[in-house]
């Protein structure tokens, strides 16, 4: 499978099934290689991936990220193989350990040590029984990985990693940690807006749902941010290093910085500067479109 250089990461839970299919078709027509869909408390990611795959022809559909706490290892492997076989090998399984508040407070599970829990889950997937027609190729697996230990596990036991909410500096660290062969698929939030006040306001609204989560905070602290940079919406330094905002050229430069730092693939998350929740910014998607 060729993951391609540029994809899209987006929440589609605010769209109807028909709207999400049209969204995926338009992403495909613009030349993006992959669409990454998350899992939180909305649609089942595998069911939704099947719908999107059935409504597209070339687009890769990837979970970004399916939680290991929401289903057992055998179920994840069966879903991945089924989707890969049914779609002609257009499915990528992104897995993650999620976050303690989501796992314990919402799902009612006990949150284990992230790396050992993921390693055990991958071993159980490998050992699971699957008595159906196999896909022509094993579906690639990537891990939501930020710290060195999870990045090492991703390189050792899977196709690679999907770091989320990071910077080109982290991309360089991840590449050095994982070595030259692993996939490094990086999410980058983008805002096509050159007014600093508007762009940073949009960015701070988006950052708010993540700044209280320990996994992200710990990674930002490793990158040299202080607690004061992260709290209260994020300092300008925090916002400017983690969000790509400005002109089309400014955003392209940030994407290229990730690629130059060692990323194989950058999946952009288009934040709408008009503040329309659930409505992707087609202006930036069209401006950055590979087909353009």
The contacts of residue 2 (CB under 8 Å, 6+ apart) are 33
The pLDDT of 79-106, averaged and rounded, is 89
Distances (CA, A) of 91 to 2, 23, 125: 11, 17, 16
**139 DSSP assignment:** P
Instruction: Give the CATH number of domain 6-287.
Output: 3.20.20.30
- Residue 53's CB is within 10 A of a number of other CB atoms, namely 21
Q: How much is the pTM?
A: 0.96
Higher pLDDT, 140 or 107: 140
Residue 29, number of CB atoms within 10 A of its CB: 13
The fraction of the chain above a pLDDT of 90, given in percent, is 89
pLDDT above 90: residue 128: yes
pLDDT of 99 above 80? no
CA torsion 203→205→209→215, rounded to 10°?
Answer: 30
Rounded to a whole number of angstroms, the distance between the first and last alpha carbons of the chain is 23
Query: Residue 291: its pLDDT value, please?
Result: 86
| pLDDT for residue 185 | 98
Task: For 258-288, write each residue's pLDDT tens digit.
Answer: 999 999 999 999 999 986 656 899 999 999 9
Secondary structure string (H, E, C) spanning 23-51: HHHHHHHCCCCEEEECCCCCCCHHHHHHH
Confidence class for position 41, pLDDT limits 50, 70, 90: confident
DSSP string, 36-105: EE--SSSS-HHHHHHHHHHT-SS-EEEES-EETTSS-HHHHHHHHHHHHHHHTS-EEEEEE---HIIIII
The DSSP letter of residue 5 is: S
The DSSP symbol for 247 reads S
Q: What is the C-alpha separation between 34 and 6, in angstroms, rounded?
A: 7
pLDDT higher than threshold 90 for residue 106:
no
pLDDT at 276: 64
> Which single residue is written with the structure tokens 């710990």?
218
Banded model confidence at residue 101, pLDDT cuts 50, 70, 90: confident
Domains of the chain: which residue ranges? 6-287
Question: By C-alpha distance, which of 129, 127, 146 is closest to 184?
Answer: 146
Distance of CA 128 to the CA centre of its chain: 26
User: Mean pLDDT over residues 147-153, rounded?
Assistant: 98
């Amino acid at each position: 499978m060729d993951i391609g250089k540029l994809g899209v990461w987006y929440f589609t839970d605010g769209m109807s099934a028909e709207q999400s299919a049209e969204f995926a078709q338009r992403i495909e027509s613009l030349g993006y290689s992959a669409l990454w869909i998350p899992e939180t408390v909305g649609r089942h990611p595998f069911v939704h991936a099947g719908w999107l795959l059935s409504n597209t022809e070339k687009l890769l559909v990837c979970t970004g990220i399916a939680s290991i706490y929401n289903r057992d290892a055998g179920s994840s492997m069966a879903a991945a193989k089924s989707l890969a076989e049914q779609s002609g090998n257009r499915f990528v399984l992104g897995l993650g350990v999620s976050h303690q508040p989501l796992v314990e407070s919402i799902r009612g599970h006990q949150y284990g040590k992230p790396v050992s829990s993921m390693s055990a889950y991958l071993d159980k997937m490998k050992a699971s029984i699957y008595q159906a027609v196999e896909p022509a190729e094993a579906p690639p697996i990537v891990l939501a990985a930020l710290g060195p230990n999870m990045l090492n596990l991703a390189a050792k036991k899977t196709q690679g990693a999907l770091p989320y909410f990071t910077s080109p500096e982290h991309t360089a660290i991840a590449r050095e940690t994982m070595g030259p062969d692993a996939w490094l698929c990086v999410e980058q939030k983008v805002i096509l807006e050159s007014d600093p006040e508007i762009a940073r306001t949009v960015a701070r609204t988006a950052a708010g749902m993540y700044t209280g989560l320990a996994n992200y905070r710990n990674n930002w602290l490793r990158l040299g941010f202080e607690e004061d940079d992260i709290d209260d919406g994020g300092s300008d330094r925090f916002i400017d290093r983690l969000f790509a905002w400005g002109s089309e050229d400014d955003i392209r430069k940030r994407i290229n910085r990730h690629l130059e730092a060692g990323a194989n693939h950058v999946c952009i998350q288009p934040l709408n500067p008009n503040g329309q929740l659930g409505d992707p910014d087609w202006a930036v998607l069209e401006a950055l479109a590979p087909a353009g």
